[in-house]
């Protein structure tokens, strides 16, 4: 028995499934897909606790098919090959994890899994029912065809997994299916984190990381960034991911775009990472604290909105700092303190990094994934 299996709290009833349980993850290519499906898949596979496949594996197998020329990989034959590969993976699995289904095709695959007697898990980490109009995905989720498939996928699942207790309670109350929390985990120890130089430069770099879906949340930066650059001439500001129009062309402001897996490299020189969110149900109920822990592993201290997603794990003055979500003067005060006190930044980062390494790594919590899926098969 591999060494990793001895410290995950597996019950005697679950032991016969060690190394035999087969889990298939169907997910998208977003950060949500990475953290909520692909990393659990890799952790189960690498520790040997379960046999695990992901949608990424199927796409790679189709893309490298020697009989399929590169120009045909978006053709009908490729799409049919891809669908057939997914069907074969569903037939192979004991448990099928669907990440945030919102299409008829996804729902058909879930129904196929049910018809074959597979345990079906719906993984959802957003409160799509309360999405804000300024979110680019608003019109997608407001279409009844998508929202209808999304709602039905909750009702037909054997289990719903999500990121926090607030969202789990909402799902269970709304759809009647049991919902549990599998916290967001990070792949600490992977090359993308370990093979990076995190040493900081003489100036202070403040940054924000996120997609266009946060366009409403970063409205506070429109006043905060120009103030920051005027108040501290040795400071620069960087956006990683989405760059708002108002920031384009500002002196000492730059934007970086790239694969989510390259985030450690793109943010390695930052000193302070901002995590503003607005006080709306989509955030307060639906969001998690993942950004603070991505920052921590890269040696970046977090300044976040003082709202429920960051309460508990991010302790003000210990593992980061919190500011009133809609009070720009409070953000200025906290930023001034962090910029002027480098030793405070170092202490907060050390504490935060220690916490995430102890509590929020996918390898360290692989037993939680295994037990969750093994319980479904035993039932």
Q: Which of 11-15, 92-96, 98-102, 210-214 has the highest mean pLDDT?
A: 92-96
Q: What pLDDT shows up at residue 307?
A: 97
228 and 122 within one domain:
no
Q: What pLDDT shows up at residue 102?
A: 77
For residue 242, pLDDT beyond 50: yes
φ/ψ of 68, rounded to 5, equals -115, 115
Q: How many domains does the chain have?
A: 2
Report d(CA 82, CA 76) in Å as an integer. 10
Structure tokens at 46: 């690498």
242 and 94 within one domain:
no
Give tens-digit pLDDT for 68-125: 444 444 455 556 667 788 889 999 999 999 998 778 888 888 999 999 999 999 999 9
201 and 296 within one domain:
yes
Give tens-digit pLDDT for 302-332: 999 999 999 988 999 999 999 999 999 999 9
In DSSP notation, 180-247 reads: EE----B-TTSHHHHTS-----SSEEEEEEE-GGGTTGGGGHHHHHHHHHHH-TTEEEEEEE---GGG
User: What's the average model confidence in pLDDT over 129-139?
Assistant: 91
For residue 168, pLDDT beyond 80: yes
Report d(CA 311, CA 315) in Å as an integer. 7
User: What's the average model confidence in pLDDT over 175-197?
Assistant: 86
Task: Show the CA angle centred on residue 358, arms to residues 372 and 191, nearest 5°.
Answer: 90
177 and 49 within one domain:
yes
218 and 168 within one domain:
no
217 and 149 within one domain:
no
DSSP class of residue 35 equals I
DSSP class of residue 129 equals G
201 and 283 within one domain:
yes
Q: Which of 33-37, 86-90, 198-202, 204-208 has the highest mean pLDDT?
A: 204-208
Q: What pLDDT shows up at residue 67?
A: 43
Report d(CA 252, CA 102) in Å as an integer. 40
145 and 17 within one domain:
yes
Mean pLDDT taken over the chain: 88
Phi-psi sector, 129: left (phi>0), alpha (psi -120 to 50), beta: alpha
Any idea which of 26-35, 166-175, 190-199 has the lowest mean pLDDT?
190-199
292 and 263 within one domain:
yes
Q: pLDDT band for position 265 (50/70/90)?
A: confident
Q: Regarding beta strands 159-162 and 235-241, do their DSSP bridges make them parallel or antiparallel, or are they unpaired?
A: unpaired
154 and 21 within one domain:
yes
Return the percentage of the chain with pLDDT > 90, whole number: 64
CATH number of the domain that residue 256 is part of: 3.40.50.2000
Nearest to 50 by CA among 374, 356, 375: 374
Range of the domain at 92: 3-185+362-378
Q: How far is CA 150 from CA 115, 137, 215, 250, in A?
A: 19, 14, 24, 41
Q: 274-283: b or e for each residue (b if 16 or more CB lie within 10 Å)?
A: bbbbbebebb
345 and 198 within one domain:
yes
Q: Which of 94-108, 166-180, 184-198 has the highest mean pLDDT?
A: 166-180
Task: Point out which residues pair with 186 in neighbouring strands.
Answer: 361
Q: Which of 144-153, 309-318, 330-339 has the highest mean pLDDT?
A: 330-339
47 and 172 within one domain:
yes
Contact call for residues 276 and 302 (beta carbons, < 8 A) = no
């Amino acid at each position: 028995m591999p060494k990793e299996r001895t410290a995950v709290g597996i019950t005697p009833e679950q032991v016969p499934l060690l190394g035999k349980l087969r889990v298939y993850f169907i997910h998208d290519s977003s950060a949500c897909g990475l953290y909520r499906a692909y990393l659990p898949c890799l952790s189960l596979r690498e520790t040997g606790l379960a046999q695990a496949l992901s949608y990424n594996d199927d796409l790679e197998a189709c893309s490298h098919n020697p009989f399929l020329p590169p120009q045909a990989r978006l053709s009908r034959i490729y799409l049919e090959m891809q669908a057939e590969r997914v069907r074969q993976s569903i037939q192979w699995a004991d448990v099928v994890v669907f990440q945030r289904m919102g299409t008829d095709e996804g729902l058909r695959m879930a129904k196929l899994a049910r018809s074959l007697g597979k345990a079906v898990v719906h993984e959802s980490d957003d409160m799509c029912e309360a999405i804000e109009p300024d979110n680019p995905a608003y019109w997608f989720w407001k279409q009844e065809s998508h929202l209808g498939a999304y709602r039905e996928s909750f009702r037909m699942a054997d289990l719903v997994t999500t990121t926090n207790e607030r969202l789990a309670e909402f799902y269970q109350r709304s759809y009647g299916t049991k919902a549990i929390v599998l916290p967001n985990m990070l792949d600490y120890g992977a090359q993308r984190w370990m093979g990076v130089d995190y040493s900081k430069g003489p100036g202070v770099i403040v940054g924000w990381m996120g997609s266009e879906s946060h366009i409403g949340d970063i409205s506070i930066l429109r006043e905060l960034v120009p103030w920051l650059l005027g108040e501290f001439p040795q400071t620069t500001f960087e956006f990683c991911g989405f760059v708002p129009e108002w920031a384009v062309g500002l002196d000492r402001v730059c934007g970086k775009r790239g694969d989510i897996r390259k985030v450690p490299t793109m943010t390695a020189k930052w000193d302070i990472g901002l995590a503003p969110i607005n006080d709306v149900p989509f955030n307060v109920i639906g969001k998690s604290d993942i950004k603070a822990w991505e920052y921590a592993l890269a040696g970046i201290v977090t300044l976040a909105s003082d709202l429920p997603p960051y309460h508990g794990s991010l302790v003000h003055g210990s593992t980061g700092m919190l500011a009133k979500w809609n009070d720009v003067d409070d953000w200025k005060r906290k930023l001034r303190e962090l910029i002027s006190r480098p030793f405070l930044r170092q202490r907060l980062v050390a504490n935060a990094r220690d916490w995430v390494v102890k509590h929020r790594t996918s390898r360290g919590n692989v037993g939680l994934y295994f037990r969750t899926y093994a319980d479904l098969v035993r039932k």
